Amino acid sequence: MRPAQLIPPPRRLLMILAALSTLLAGCVYRMDIQQGNYLDGHDVGQLKVGMTRTQVRYLLGTPMITDLFDHSRWDYVYYFKRGYVHEPIESRVTVYFQGDKVERFTLHNIPKGRPIGPGLLPSVKKFPI
């Protein structure tokens, strides 16, 4: 007797379907996840102590997080995870104000150039002239 004849046909079909479903489970599409403000290294490089809130908002955009109880701090956060990549790209700028002027700011993992995300090319300018 051959080994294939030992397994009844319905059970053999079930085993084949289980094997195929296991293989296809790894082929699930995972879309890119992008959240927050683009933190362009060129724009962040122009941030200086003494700038007004209006200048910072023009340069970096509306802050992602504003503290309701402490208006002297703005947080800009960018998060991008491409499909199956396990390590996301996370960037953060925290701007501290004294009155209406920038007192200091902290930078975390800011890219040197423009971030590349879905539909964004490195040559795209923020404010075209």
SS3 of 23-63: the string is HHHCCCCCCCEEEECCCCHHHHHCCCCCCEHHHHHHHHCCC
pTM of the model: 0.64
CATH number, residue 47: 3.30.1450
Q: In this structure, is residue 83 part of a structural domain?
A: yes
Whole-number mean pLDDT of the chain? 79
Q: Which residues are CB-contacts of 93 (< 8 A; sequence separation ≥ 6)?
A: 39, 44, 47, 60, 75, 76, 105, 106, 107, 108, 110
Determine the structural domain holding residue 102 and report its residue range: 33-108
Which CA distances in Å does 22 have to 15, 19, 28, 124? 11, 5, 11, 42
Q: For residues 106 and 95, what is the distance between their CA atoms, to the nearest angstrom?
A: 7
The tally of domains found in the chain comes to 1
> Which range among 34-43, 44-53, 74-83 has the greatest average pLDDT?
44-53
Confidence of residue 2 (pLDDT cuts 50, 70, 90): low
Q: In this structure, is residue 82 part of a structural domain?
A: yes
Q: In this structure, is residue 7 part of a structural domain?
A: no
Q: In this structure, is residue 42 part of a structural domain?
A: yes
Could you report the per-residue pLDDT of 87-128, keeping only the tens digit for each?
Answer: 888 889 999 999 999 999 999 988 776 655 555 544 445 554
Q: In this structure, is residue 120 part of a structural domain?
A: no
Q: In this structure, is residue 48 part of a structural domain?
A: yes
Q: In this structure, is residue 113 part of a structural domain?
A: no
The residue-averaged pLDDT of 13-26 equals: 77
Q: In this structure, is residue 84 part of a structural domain?
A: yes
